[in-house]
Amino acid sequence: MKAREVKGLDPAGPLADNVERIARTRLDELFAFAPAVLDPRNVRELHDMRIAAKRLRYVLEPTEHLFGPYAANAIRRTRELQELLGDMHDCDEMLPRVRRIIAAEQAAEVEALRARAAADARDLDPALARDAPRAEAWRGLHAFAAWLEARRALLHDAFLRQWTELGRAGFRARLEYALAERPPEPEPDPPAPVPDPEPALAARTSS
């Protein structure tokens, strides 16, 4: 997914102001995928939201000190969202691969069963299916595919709860407020005391 262009950056301007523009753009990018991500079938939007969450997090992590205190909380919440979407993406990547293997196993099973029939057979004995030569691999792959589907469904349910909680907690508004905050400048160190020359001068005079 191509990142949105950040407009209004000023190379001569304060670092915090420029980072704020970048972070606001990445925040808008993250929220642009709702409500599409509420539908578990929208795999592409869920994947792109994961990338958007990662980009927002990577902007905030090294610049947290430039903004208000909620920025630290936002980093944690964004990381949690990214990790959850990443687990879903793992399922989305693995499941098609398993299904392709299942399809290949099924094709091989068909050929193996045909080879066990008599040359002049008009039909296939159902008993052959009971002792199918690839039955164990077949059973394991189907179980793995079912596990992936179930895990992915549970992860999306967890995502919906987390996304709802972010909305209730005012995540977007609070982060936008924090991005506009500027922590106070640290107090400068007091000047080092100037040593009194009188004792040294008196010692030289007395000698």
Q: What is the pLDDT of residue 80?
A: 98
Does some domain include residue 201?
no
Q: Specify the pLDDT at position 202.
A: 57
Determine the structural domain holding residue 89 and report its residue range: 15-183
Residue 199 within any structural domain of the chain? no
How much is the pTM? 0.82
Q: Is residue 139 part of a domain?
A: yes
In a domain, 123, yes or no: yes
Q: What is the pLDDT of residue 129?
A: 74
- Residue 151's contacts (CB-CB under 8 Å, 6 or more residues apart) are 91
* pLDDT value, residue 194: 74
Number of separate domains in the chain: 1
pLDDT at 163 over 90: yes
What pLDDT is recorded for position 189? Answer: 74
Residue appearing with tokens 């792109």: 48
Show the tokens assigned to 72: 């630290």
Does residue 9 fall inside a structural domain?
no
Identify the pLDDT of residue 139.
80
pLDDT of residue 16: 97
pLDDT at 200: 57
Which pLDDT score is estimated for 190? 77
Q: What integer best gives the mean pLDDT of the chain? A: 90
Close Cβ partners of 152 (under 8 Å, ≥ 6 residues apart): 40, 88, 91, 92, 95
Q: Is the pLDDT of residue 201 over 60?
A: no
Average of pLDDT values for 59-76?
Answer: 97
The CA dihedral of 164, 79, 59, 94, to the nearest 10 degrees, is -100
CB burial of 87-122 (b: ≥16 within 10 Å; e: otherwise) equals bbbebeeebeebeeebeebeeebeeebeeeeeeeee
Span 85-98, mean pLDDT?
Answer: 97
Tokens of 143: 């179980």
CATH number of the domain that residue 168 is part of: 1.40.20.10
Residue 4 included in any domain: no
**pLDDT tens figures, 28-50:** 999 999 999 999 999 999 999 99
- Would you say residue 149 lies in a domain? yes
120 falls in which pLDDT band (50, 70, 90)?
Answer: confident
pLDDT at 133: 67
Contacts of 117 (CB under 8 A, 6+ apart): 124, 125, 128
pLDDT of residue 47: 98
CB-CB contact of 112 with 133 (8 Å): yes
Average pLDDT score over residue span 5-20:
96
**pLDDT grade, residue 206 (50/70/90)?**
low
Domain assignment of residue 3, yes or no? no
